[in-house]
Amino acid sequence: MSQSVASIAMELKDARKRLGLTQAVLAKRSGISRTALNSIEKGTINMSVETLLRLLDVLGMDLRIVRKPVNRGRVAGRFPNMDELKKMRLDGEI
């Protein structure tokens, strides 16, 4: 499980507990099974974006997408060559 998925799973579980909801209640209100919610909270399955949005709605939360700044296009004042582009892609810069 990636760190991002683990973080989302933890946030969902913490929000559910803060609201005093059981997994069964949140699952029913969200239209998913309790076992699916349990797996989502443990991070053992991936959920669809639709499921995530339904869970967030029931929990009174919203989805905010924060973009990381990306260094695109130039290396030392010039356009990168193919090797530099491959390295930038592997490093997640593009």
Output the pLDDT for position 57: 95
Output the pLDDT for position 79: 72
For the chain, report the end-to-end CA distance as a whole number of angstroms: 23
pTM: 0.68
Output the pLDDT for position 17: 97
Domain 3-58 matching CATH 1.10.260.40: the answer reads yes
Positive or negative, the CA dihedral 71, 77, 81, 83 is negative
Output the pLDDT for position 78: 67
Domain residue extents for the chain: 3-58
Structure token pair of residue 21? 């909801």
Return the minimum-mean-pLDDT range out of 12-16, 21-25, 68-72, 90-94. Answer: 68-72
Q: What are 32-87's pLDDT values in tens digits? A: 999 999 999 998 988 999 999 999 999 999 988 766 665 555 555 667 778 888 88
